[in-house]
């Protein structure tokens, strides 16, 4: 950051923009100039500061005061009272919730350490917070690619996109060849998930460096970032970061004047959930329908244009630079023995403080819900949490104290990646929630294989019958039975997924489903 | 059209990008038969391959749409806070079903999977603009605003 008496950080992400962040920023700049404070107080655009659902959020440094739901009309008071006279405007202050920004709870910050602190559109600020240092260290001290892979293996980093496959092992499985590719999966489509979006919007250079290191390690010189077509701001910021890095000689031919070359291109998706599956994503980059391929061969052997390809998630790659810079032992200090490091979550639904958090692996859901989410809102009781989006698990009160990591029960392990936690209170209907999930699968089934194409439609039909009070005990059994058959026979994870939300919902809330048979429930009541 | 195409290398890899741009350039937000044929010629692939890709992704349309596309998010986090009733309301207000275009050609009503702004659910997208924390009043207000700016342009 530039030298100044104080800084006002304004969170500019998609949410803040639609709450009018630009107008607030303009008003703030105008008034600072008018009051002659423009040189003393700098306004800095940053990514997410860990607060969601609070409109335009400002953070004033050095005091660390956070304001929420700021409107243009509030600017005069903030400038005249706080910035001129040093008296924070209490009515706009966000409660001191134990988030990483307040430092009241131990937050383990690896992936998000710069999000909400730096201007994501400034290469200088990224470099000031050690961007590209790990890459430079590797190139300067000529660390061999095999040693980079060994370090990542030793760190125990596991893929943050889904099931937690060890990243170093994945890299080492890349088949030999002259042409290889690194693909970053930023096709974040799991309902309730937007942690990757906030990483892309908050610290794009971090991701670029992670891809470069991956490329160096496996011998690739080209990377693709496949981003959802709906993520407009992410795409603009990434493109800006790529252009800046190219101009600075960081990306492109002879990276940092070494013999290593690496360049990155963005590929914009066009609205297909299935493209989050790695082989569908590859087909989509190739310009085809996003149909999943039959595995094996895995992308590490036959990937993009039939060349060996590493596909890693955004959060996974964002973990790579600090591991190489600070070492595997440092990384292993966080999290659990089997799943070192941290996990980024978005906590949503009926909680007091929805938002983005990063906590150590192994943190139980109850801690996240109470300490970070602030508990269930409006004094209601917790009923369930949908963990991991549509392809996720319904967790009841009984499951709140299980440590969440990749070695835990499959309800947790299989769905950890997406990091979505959707909380529902006692008044919401699990039957309705499940119905929404099943409709989502029907909509997103790509139609390539029959079990998923027909199965997803049958599931919605059964669920509709149950929900509207026309169902029987047989229908409930069939719901589980069909989903099991789909799990056994579908080509890709999409068709294999519905069993998890169905089984977990029915196991924990069977009485609620059975009550529906007698009379319509949920929204239909 | 030629100029637009030549911005991209003539290989299948460019197809999604080209389709995005062609569709954005068309006032009715769709891929015209002529455009699809031109792409096939430019990439030197059968027309069927271009159409195959274009019909797979939900963001592309092969039929003319309204001048403005309203996409209501229908994923579980939005449903939890009433997206369904907003969709019903809007369908009645615009007098169209999902996927249809209003008679005056101003709006096409669509649904979409998660927009990734669940913190401000329920959410929708009108063209490239996101709107969150929707209520019935806000929804109708946004629609009225878009209609006004459409009439003025």
A135: domain CATH number is 3.40.50.11540
pLDDT, chain A, mean:
91
Residue pLDDT, tens place only, A210-245? 999 999 999 999 999 999 998 999 999 999 999 999
* A235 and A129 co-located in one domain: yes
pLDDT at A466: 94
**What band does A1 get if pLDDT is binned at 50, 70 and 90?**
very low
Which residues of B are less than 8 Å from A446 in CB distance?
A: 56
A110 in a structural domain: no
* A192 and A321 co-located in one domain: yes
* B39 and B95 co-located in one domain: no
Which residues of B are less than 8 Å from A197 in CB distance?
A: 116
A102 in a structural domain: no
Which residues of A are less than 8 Å from B60 in CB distance?
A: 270-271
Residue pLDDT, tens place only, A178-222? 999 999 999 998 998 999 999 999 999 999 999 999 999 999 999
A181-186 vs A58-61, strand pairing mode: unpaired
Quote the CA–CA distance of A69 and B146 in Å, as a whole number: 25
- Quick check: B98 contacting A, CB < 8 Å? no
Quote the CA–CA distance of A514 and A476 in Å, as a whole number: 8
Looking at the predicted structure, is the pLDDT value of residue A463 above 70? yes
**What band does A464 get if pLDDT is binned at 50, 70 and 90?**
very high
B22 in a structural domain: yes
Question: If we measure between CA atoms, which residue out of B148, B65, B73, B127 comes closest to residue B102?
Answer: B65
3-state SS class at A468? coil
Question: Hey, what are A178's tokens?
Answer: 């002259």
* B19 and B90 co-located in one domain: no
Q: What is the DSSP track for B70-97?
A: EEEE-SHHHHTTTHHHHHHHHHHHHT--
Looking at the predicted structure, is the pLDDT value of residue A95 above 80? no
Chunked mean pLDDT (size 10), chain B, 153 residues: 94 97 95 98 98 96 96 90 93 96 96 87 91 93 95 89
Bridge partners of A382, per DSSP, are: A425
Q: Do B117 and A14 touch (CB under 8 A)?
A: yes
Which residues of A are less than 8 Å from B19 in CB distance?
A: 270
A60 in a structural domain: yes
* B77 and B107 co-located in one domain: yes
Quote the CA–CA distance of A350 and A372 in Å, as a whole number: 13
pLDDT at A399: 93
Sign of CA dihedral A411, A417, A418, A424: positive
Asked if the peptide bond before residue A62 counts as cis, ω within 30 degrees of 0, the response is yes
Residue pLDDT, tens place only, A237-269? 999 999 999 999 999 999 999 999 999 999 999
Looking at the predicted structure, is the pLDDT value of residue A431 above 50? yes
* Angle at alpha carbon of residue B98, lines to B132 and B152, rounded to 5°: 65
Asked if A425 contacts A381 with a C-beta cutoff of 8 angstroms, the reply is: yes
A247 exposed, middle or buried (CB, 10 Å; 0-12, 13-18, 19+)? exposed
* B75 and B148 co-located in one domain: yes
Asked if A53 contacts A28 with a C-beta cutoff of 8 angstroms, the reply is: no
Residue pLDDT, tens place only, A372-398? 888 999 999 999 999 999 999 999 999
Residue pLDDT, tens place only, A283-335? 999 999 999 999 999 999 999 999 999 999 999 999 999 999 999 999 999 99
**What band does A55 get if pLDDT is binned at 50, 70 and 90?**
confident
Please give the average per-residue pLDDT across A424-453, as a whole number.
Answer: 94
Quote the CA–CA distance of A10 and A43 in Å, as a whole number: 7
Query: Can you tell me the ipTM of this complex?
Result: 0.94
Domain encompassing residue B38: 2-56
pTM for this model (two decimals): 0.89
Looking at the predicted structure, is the pLDDT value of residue A102 above 50? no
Question: Hey, what are A397's tokens?
Answer: 């009160």
Nearest Cα residue in chain A from B133: A53
Asked if A115 contacts A202 with a C-beta cutoff of 8 angstroms, the reply is: yes
Question: SS in 3 state form for A350-405?
Answer: CECCCEEEEEECCCEHHHHHHHHCCCEHHHCCEEEEEECCCCCEEEEHHHCCCECC
Q: Choose the closest CB to B113 out of A267, A288, A440.
A: A440
B63 in a structural domain: no
pLDDT at A243: 98
- Count of domains for chain B: 2
Residue A55 DSSP one-character state: S
* A175 and A266 co-located in one domain: yes
Give the H or E element holding residue A126. helix A123-128
Quote the CA–CA distance of B101 and B66 in Å, as a whole number: 6
Which residues of B are less than 8 Å from A193 in CB distance?
A: 114, 116, 118
**What band does A3 get if pLDDT is binned at 50, 70 and 90?**
low
Query: Which of residues A332, A353, A381 is at a domain's end?
Result: A332
Question: Hey, what are A456's tokens?
Answer: 């997803």
Number of residues assigned to chain B: 153
* B14 and B79 co-located in one domain: no
Nearest Cα residue in chain B from A20: B131
pLDDT at A225: 98
Q: Chain B 106-145, CB below 8 Å of chain A: which residues?
A: 111-121, 125, 128-133
* B18 and B75 co-located in one domain: no
Asked if the peptide bond before residue A286 counts as cis, ω within 30 degrees of 0, the response is no
Distance from CA of B120 to the nearest CA of A (A): 5
Distance from CA of B37 to the nearest CA of A (A): 16
Q: Do B130 and A433 touch (CB under 8 A)?
A: no
A420-425 vs A342-349, strand pairing mode: parallel
* A195 and A302 co-located in one domain: yes
Q: Chain A 223-242, CB below 8 Å of chain B: which residues?
A: 228-232
| Domain containing residue B108: CATH number | 3.40.30.10
Asked if A226 contacts A184 with a C-beta cutoff of 8 angstroms, the reply is: yes
3-state SS class at B45? coil
What is the per-residue burial (b if ≥16 Cβ within 10 Å, else e) of B69-84? bbbbbbbbbbbbbbbb
* B72 and B147 co-located in one domain: yes
**Strand ranges (E), chain B:** 68-73, 107-112, 124-126, 129-131
3-state SS class at A447? coil
**What band does A85 get if pLDDT is binned at 50, 70 and 90?**
confident
Tokens 């409107």 -> residue:
A71
* B35 and B83 co-located in one domain: no
Q: What is the DSSP track for A489-510?
A: H-SSHHHHSTHHHHHHHHHHHH
Share of chain A above pLDDT 70, in %: 96
Residue pLDDT, tens place only, A129-159? 999 999 999 999 999 999 999 999 999 999 9
- Hey, of B76, B88, B126, B128, which one would you mutate to test binding to chain A, going by the most A CBs within 10 A of its CB? B76
pLDDT at A516: 87
* B74 and B147 co-located in one domain: yes
**What band does A103 get if pLDDT is binned at 50, 70 and 90?**
very low
* A470 and A407 co-located in one domain: no
Which residues of B are less than 8 Å from A229 in CB distance?
A: 20, 59
B61 in a structural domain: no
* A373 and A401 co-located in one domain: yes
* A315 and A369 co-located in one domain: no
pLDDT at A105: 47
| Cα distance between the two ends of chain B | 24
Asked if A445 contacts A486 with a C-beta cutoff of 8 angstroms, the reply is: no
Distances (CA, A) of A227 to A219, A235, A239, A310: 23, 7, 11, 16
B48 in a structural domain: yes
Domain encompassing residue A509: 430-524
pLDDT at A459: 98
* A252 and A374 co-located in one domain: no
**Strand ranges (E), A397-503:** 420-425
* B73 and B146 co-located in one domain: yes
**Stronger pLDDT, A97 or A190, i.e. the higher one:** A190
Looking at the predicted structure, is the pLDDT value of residue A414 above 80? no
Quote the CA–CA distance of A326 and A358 in Å, as a whole number: 19
Task: Please list, in sequence order, all residues whose beta carbon lies within 8 angstroms of the beta carbon of residue A41, skipping any fewer than 6 positions away.
Answer: A4, A5, A6, A7, A8, A32, A83
* A168 and A278 co-located in one domain: yes
Q: Choose the closest CB to B119 out of A290, A348, A437.
A: A348
Residue A81 DSSP one-character state: I
- Count of domains for chain A: 4
Question: Hey, what are B37's tokens?
Answer: 């044929």
């Amino acid at each position: 950051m530039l030298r100044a008496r104080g800084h006002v950080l304004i969170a500019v992400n998609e949410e803040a923009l639609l709450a009018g962040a630009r107008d607030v920023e303009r008003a703030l700049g105008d008034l600072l100039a008018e009051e002659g404070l423009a040189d003393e107080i700098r306004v800095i655009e940053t990514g997410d500061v860990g607060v969601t659902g609070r409109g335009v959020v400002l953070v004033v440094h050095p005091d660390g005061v956070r304001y929420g739901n700021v409107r243009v009309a509030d600017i005069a008071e903030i400038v005249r009272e706080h910035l001129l006279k040093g008296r924070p405007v209490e009515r706009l202050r966000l409660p001191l919730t134990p988030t990483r920004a307040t430092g009241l709870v131990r937050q383990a910050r690896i992936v998000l350490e710069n999000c909400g602190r730096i201007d994501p559109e400034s290469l200088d600020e990224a470099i000031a917070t050690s961007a590209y240092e790990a890459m430079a260290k590797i190139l300067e001290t000529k660390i061999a690619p095999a040693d980079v892979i060994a370090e990542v293996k030793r760190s125990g980093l596991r893929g943050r996109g889904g099931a937690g496959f060890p990243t170093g092992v994945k890299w080492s499985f890349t088949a030999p060849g002259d042409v290889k590719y690194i693909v970053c999966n930023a096709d974040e489509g799991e309902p309730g998930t937007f942690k990757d979006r906030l990483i892309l919007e908050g610290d794009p250079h971090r991701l670029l460096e992670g891809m470069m290191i991956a490329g160096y390690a496996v011998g690739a010189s080209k990377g693709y970032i496949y981003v959802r077509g709906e993520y407009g701001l992410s795409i603009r910021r990434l493109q800006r970061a790529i252009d800046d890095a190219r101009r600075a000689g960081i990306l492109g031919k002879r990276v940092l004047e070494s013999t290593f070359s690496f360049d990155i291109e963005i590929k914009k998706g066009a609205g297909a959930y299935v493209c989050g599956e790695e082989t569908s994503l590859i087909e989509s980059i190739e310009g085809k329908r996003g149909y999943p391929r039959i595995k094996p061969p895995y992308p590490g052997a036959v990937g993009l244009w039939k060349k060996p390809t590493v596909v890693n998630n955004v959060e996974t790659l964002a973990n790579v630079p600090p591991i190489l810079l600070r070492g595997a032992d440092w990384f292993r200090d966080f999290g659990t023995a089997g799943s070192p490091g941290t996990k980024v979550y978005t906590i949503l639904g009926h909680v007091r403080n929805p938002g983005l958090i990063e906590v150590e692996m192994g943190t139980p859901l109850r801690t996240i819900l109470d300490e970070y989410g602030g508990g269930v809102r409006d004094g209601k009781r917790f009923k369930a949490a949908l963990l991991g989006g549509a392809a996720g698990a319904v967790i009841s009160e009984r499951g709140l104290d299980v440590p969440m990591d990749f070695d835990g029960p499959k309800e947790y392990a299989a769905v950890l990646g997406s990091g979505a936690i959707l909380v529902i209170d006692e008044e919401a209907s699990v039957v309705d929630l499940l119905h929404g999930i099943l409709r989502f699968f029907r909509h997103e089934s790509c139609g390539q294989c029959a079990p998923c194409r027909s199965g997803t439609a049958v599931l919605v039909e059964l669920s509709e019958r149950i929900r509207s009070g026309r169902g029987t005990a047989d229908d409930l059994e069939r719901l589980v039975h069909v989903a099991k058959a789909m799990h056994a026979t579908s080509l890709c994870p999409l068709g294999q997924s519905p069993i998890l939300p169905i089984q977990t919902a029915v196991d924990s809330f069977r009485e609620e489903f059975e009550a529906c048979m007698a009379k319509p429930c949920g929204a239909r009541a | 059209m030629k100029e637009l195409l030549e911005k991209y290398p003539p290989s299948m890899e460019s197809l999604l990008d080209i389709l995005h741009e062609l569709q954005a350039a068309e006032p009715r937000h769709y891929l015209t038969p002529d455009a699809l044929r031109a792409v096939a010629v430019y990439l030197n692939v059968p027309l069927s391959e271009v159409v195959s890709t274009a019909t797979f992704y939900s963001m592309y349309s092969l039929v003319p749409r309204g001048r403005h596309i309203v996409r209501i998010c229908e994923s579980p986090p939005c449903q939890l806070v009433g997206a369904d009733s907003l969709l019903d309301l809007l369908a009645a207000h615009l007098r169209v079903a999902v996927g249809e275009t209003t008679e005056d050609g101003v709006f096409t009503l669509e649904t979409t999977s998660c927009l990734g702004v669940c913190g401000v659910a329920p959410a929708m997208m009108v063209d490239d603009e996101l709107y969150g924390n929707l209520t019935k009043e806000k929804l109708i207000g946004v629609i009225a605003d878009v209609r006004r700016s459409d009439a003025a342009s």
